[in-house]
Amino acid sequence: MRLGIVAGLIVLVGALATVAAVPAAHASGSAPGEPGSNATWDEPSVTGFADSLGASSKVWYTIGNGELENAFYPETDTPDTYGLQYAVTNGSSFTELETTGTTHKTTLLSNSYLVWQQVNTADNGDFTITKTYIADPSRSVIDVQTTSWSDVELLANYLVANGPYTLEERW
């Protein structure tokens, strides 16, 4: 019996020594989501965020880079939109996107109601667009009041999530 226990210990010690002698395996390639991977949200340019103060509204939003960046509804974990901006044109000599070719200024107009204002001024001075944002407290709606300070036409460019991992651009 004693010989069996000693033989079993020798086999166990030999197995452990074999495992210890095998070099560790290293994975080749990169794991999904590794540091430095492209993000799917555009948070780095967020200059404001808000939700409604009313219990009936389930909408949240972020603004930045001169546009309404993300709208979240009815949950806050995944954006349902990825951008609402204007394409600006005079109909003959220029067309410019609001997120490019403009200088952006974002101001919180009211701490009590989370009212935000964005002013986008063309780098060449051809136009200024002022947008005021507020989430409606009684409905899941983001109210965007827009004023243009020149003789230009505004075309809405809306990037909406159309199912998981699918975006659809709407004009």
**DSSP state string for 13-42:** HHHHHHHHHSPPP---S--TT-TTPPPSS-
Buried b (16+ CB within 10 A) or exposed e, 28-41: eeeeeeeeeeeeee
Tell me whether residue 8 is in a domain. no
11, part of any domain: no
Q: Would residue 118 count as lying in a domain? A: yes
- pLDDT of res. 36: 58
Q: What is the pLDDT of residue 169?
A: 64
The per-residue pLDDT for 43 is: 55
pLDDT at residue 38 in the model: 53
In a domain, 119, yes or no: yes
Per-residue pLDDT, 26: 53
Report the domain count for the chain.
1
Beta pairing partners, 84: 68, 158
- Is 38 a domain residue? no
- Residue 89: give its domain's CATH number: 2.70.98.10
Weakly modelled stretches of the chain, pLDDT under 70:
1-44, 162-171
Provide the pLDDT for residue 4: 44
On whether residue 15 sits in a domain, the answer given is no
Residue 150 included in any domain: yes
Structure confidence at residue 129 (pLDDT): 95
Residue 62 sits at the vertex; the CA angle it makes with 82 and 64, to the nearest 5 degrees, is: 85
- Is 155 contained in some domain? yes
Domain that holds residue 130: 46-170
